[in-house]
Amino acid sequence: MTYENLLLETEDRIATLYINRPKALNALNQDTLLELKEAIGAIAQDDSIDVLIITGAGDKAFVAGADIAYMQNLSAMEARSFAALGQQVFMMIETMEKPVIAAVNGFALGGGCELAMCCDFRVASSNAKFGQPEVGLGIIPGFGGTQRLTRLIGAGMAKQLLYTADVIGADEACRVGLVNSVQAPEELMGVVKATAKRILAKGQVAVRLCKAAANEGLQTDINRGMTIEADAFGLCFATADQREGMSAFIEKRKSNFTGR
C-alpha cells in the first residue's frame, strides 16, 4: 500500500510508520489523518507485524501539530469533526493490540505531542521538543492532549504546560516522565528498534495482554484493575506460549515462542 503523506517500512516483524510531510514539519491535515486511519487499521490486521514504531520523516520534526493552514478557516462543525477524526485515529493507536513506540525525532507540538502520547511509550532524540501550544492560537488541544498529558505526567505539570504553551526540551520531557529516554539523533532509531526486538523475543500474546490490562486498568479503580489482570493472567494459561515459556525455563533453554 502506498500513501501520499506516510511511509511504511516493514522488517523482521517491526513496522515503521513515518509521517511524511517534511516541508510542513509533518503537520497533520485531514488527508494525513485519513491515511493514518487506514494504515493503522491495516497494521492492526497484519499477522506479519508484531510491533509498530511511529516517527517523523526528515530530521527536524516528529509532527509539528495539527495543520494550522488547514484548520484556519474551519467552521465550528468542521473543527468538531476534525477533532473527532484525530481522536478516533489516536484511540485506534492506543487500543491496538500490538505495542506502539513513538520515536520522537524533533518537534512534537500540539497534535504531534498528542500523537506521541497515544503510543505506549516514547523515546526522544536530544533535539526533540514537546509542548501543547494551542492556547497561543486561541484554541485548546483537540486530539486528547488535555486528557492524556494529565494522566501521563500528572495534573500540575500538565496544566502548567497547557496554560503557558511552554515548549520543553527532551531532557525536561524525560525528567517529567513524558519520554522514557533521550538518545543522540543518529542513535534514536537503532535504540528504538533494539527495544522493539527485545519485545519481539517475548511471548506476543502475553505482551498484548499486558497492554490491554494496563490500558483498561488505567480507566478504572484498582479493584476492578486487579480483576482485569487476573482474567488476563488466566487467559495466558490457554496459550502455547505459556507452556513453552515455562518448559523452557524448567529445561534451562531459550524459549521459542510462537505467539499462540
Supply the residues annotated as catalytic.
114, 134
Which long-range CB contacts under 8 A does 161-165 form with residues at least 24 apart? 161/131, 161/132, 162/132, 162/134, 162/135, 163/135, 165/131, 165/132, 165/133, 165/134, 165/135, 165/136
Total interface residues for ligand DAK by CB under 6 A: 24
Cell of 17: 510508520
Kindly write down the DSSP assignment for every residue of 119-158, as one continuous string.
Answer: SSEEEEETT-EEE-GGGGGT----SSHHHHHHHHH-HHHH
Residue 197's contacts (CB-CB under 8 Å, 6 or more residues apart) are 12, 14
Is 56 an interacting residue with respect to ligand DAK (CB under 6 A)?
A: no
- x/- track of binding to ligand DAK for residues 1-40 (CB under 6 A): -----------------------xx-x-------------
State the minimum distance, in angstroms, from the CB of residue 170 to ligand DAK: 15
Is 79 an interacting residue with respect to ligand DAK (CB under 6 A)?
A: yes
Which residue type, as a one-letter code, is found at position 84?
A
Q: Which of 56, 133, 144, 203 binds ligand DAK (CB under 6 A)?
A: 133
State the minimum distance, in angstroms, from the CB of residue 253 to ligand DAK: 50
Contact positions with ligand DAK (CB under 6 A) in 98-127: 107, 109-111
Measured CA to CA in angstroms, residue 204 lies from 29, 100, 199, 213 at distances of 34, 13, 8, 14
Question: Which residues on adjacent β-strands are paired with residue 183?
Answer: 125
Tell me whether residue 40 or residue 205 sits nearer to ligand DAK (CB atom). Answer: 40
Tell me whether residue 15 or residue 83 sits nearer to ligand DAK (CB atom). Answer: 83
Question: Per CB under 6 A, which region of 63-71, 91-99, 168-176, 237-245 contacts ligand DAK?
Answer: 63-71
Residues that bind ligand DAK (CB under 6 A): 24-25, 27, 64-69, 79, 82-83, 86, 107, 109-111, 133-134, 137, 139, 141-143
